[in-house]
A and B are shown apart, each in its own frame.
Chain A
């Protein structure tokens, strides 16, 4: 069973508010991924880290989204100014590698609702 921890499980914000969620990867996993799964179950890759360094991120992430994985602290994903379209399940996954040959282990997700 996956031991990726995500908090909070549910987050409700008003439009324009900041929304911050956290992820603790499985012990020994240096790579962390963030995904957004919308109400149609469509996955969107947002960003991934190896230790504290960004490996890849999409353009959307570079604008309103910020993420970090400081050493000895949970990783975090923050939306600076939430929009209704940001309402989704945000999934964190950790892996031994950023490459596709390594299985990703998912946390339970943070469900964000933007009113």
Chain B
């Protein structure tokens, strides 16, 4: 069964620092990776998606994808306390089913 592994489980960074989150799929048929952010008590909201090898940047957020290793990473520069949340990685394998990882809890300390 396809799995999406995220690391670390929890991450603490100082305000203004760089947060780096990782995600790997065990299924070679992955077409798309998604990154979602879920603040405590709220529903998940999409941050970015990526399906091509390389890098994609939107503001303070950068996503990398290495399709050969099925690994994606999310980097948040100049982290803010409002970035503190659960970050979820999801993968789609052309099967109309999106699998989510267990998430990384990010804590940005002021």
Contact = CB atoms under 8 A, between A and B. Distances in A.
Partners in one complex: yes
Interface residues of B, number: 26
B45 to A, nearest CB: 7
B96 A41 contact: no
A107 to B, nearest CB: 6
B43 A107 contact: yes
Contact of B86 (A41, A103, A106): A41
B44 A106 contact: yes
B43 A106 contact: yes
Nearest to A97: B96
A3 B43 CA distance: 12
Given A101-B51, A106-B44, A106-B45, A41 B91 contact: no
A103 B102 contact: no
Interface in A33-68: 33, 35, 40-43, 45, 48, 50, 55-56
Interface of B: 31-32, 34, 38, 42-46, 49, 51, 86, 88, 90-100, 102-103
Given A101-B92, A105-B46, 15 more contacts: A41-B86, A41-B103, A42-B103, A43-B102, A55-B97, A56-B95, A56-B97, A91-B43, A91-B44, A99-B94, A100-B34, A100-B94, A100-B98, A103-B46, A103-B49
